[in-house]
Amino acid sequence: MSQPTIIDGRTVSNAVIEEVRRGAAELIATRGITPGLAVVLVGDDPASATYVRSKGRMCDRLGFRSVTHTLPADTREEELLRLIAELNADTSIHGILVQSPLPGHISYERVVETIDYRKDVDGFHPVNVGRMVIGLPANESCTPAGVIEMLKYYNIPTSGSRAVVVGRSNIVGKPLANMLMQKRDGGNAIVTVAHSAAKDLAAITREADILIAAIGRPRYITATMVKEGAVVIDVGINRVEDPGSPKGYRIVGDVDFDNVAPKCSAITPVPGGVGLMTIAMLMTNTLRSARGDLY
């Protein structure tokens, strides 16, 4: 086969972000509404803090209003819920994101359910999940929505294609499977969800025209699990030891890229693939919430 198309997350995310920037400028100019995103960080997890800062920088780039609330790790759940209630009532805030992971004494499910679903830009609130499943407009989970955008940008046909999603998490696997089967652009696929209980996972994945790996295991998808000409989307972000790296580790996906890529018609790299889409879709959801055109 010829060399596969590398599905470049930076190219797609930049296109989405530019569209959001234009939409935000128009909203500010025509209706005087500046999209506002509030991010709540509980504790001092370094990775979470870095991610929160990147969201703030993206808001600045897009002309959004950005508010960050940093709370100590011993914050009581009731205090966090009160803050969320205040943000729900703040008309200048259109998106609320509570960064995970949360300290063990706080129920993430209760936190998500407390957020006004119209301001749930993560797309995790049960109302948004339910609306997405039955095909109503909703803020959709950012990483799966980013995968759909990548497929659309590269004109990869989904309608009638056999899509296999490896993984069943509430964050990626389940919502992505539902999005792929929706009767809409970027959907209408014949979808199978596979996971660790499969007796012969490779037999299932080899049937895929579009194979999405979201299982959270480094290089788990090997060349023998992929059919010739398949499109492979790698959602995985795994840290593996690498003594030769300055940091002592490197980031790899759920797919054995070097050996799988030669069999593919198109494939996403890690890093540089799906991961770049998450913030782009978060900003898309915030703009939609500011417009008020989803509900």
State the amino acid at position 171 in one-letter form. I
- Active site residue ranges: 55, 99, 122
Main-chain phi, psi angles of 168, to 5 degrees? -135, 30
Residues 6+ apart with CB under 8 A from 23: 287, 291
β-pairing verdict for 238-241 and 249-252? antiparallel
What does the alpha-carbon distance between residue 241 and residue 225 come to, in Å, rounded to a whole number?
Answer: 25
The gap between the terminal CA atoms of the chain, to the nearest Å, is: 47
Q: What is the DSSP string of 58-127?
A: HHHHHT-EEEEEEE-TT--HHHHHHHHHHHHH-TT--EEEE-SSPPTTS-HHHHHHHS-GGGBTTS-SHH
CA distance 152 to 11: 13
DSSP state of 2: P
H-helix segments, the chain:
9-31, 46-62, 77-89, 108-114, 126-133, 142-153, 173-181, 201-205, 257-260, 277-291
Q: How far apart are CA 15 and CA 280, in angstroms?
A: 9
Contact 253, 123 (CB under 8 A): no
What count of other Cβ atoms lies within 10 Å of the Cβ of residue 136? 12
Q: How many CA atoms lie within 13 A of 158 on its CB side?
A: 30
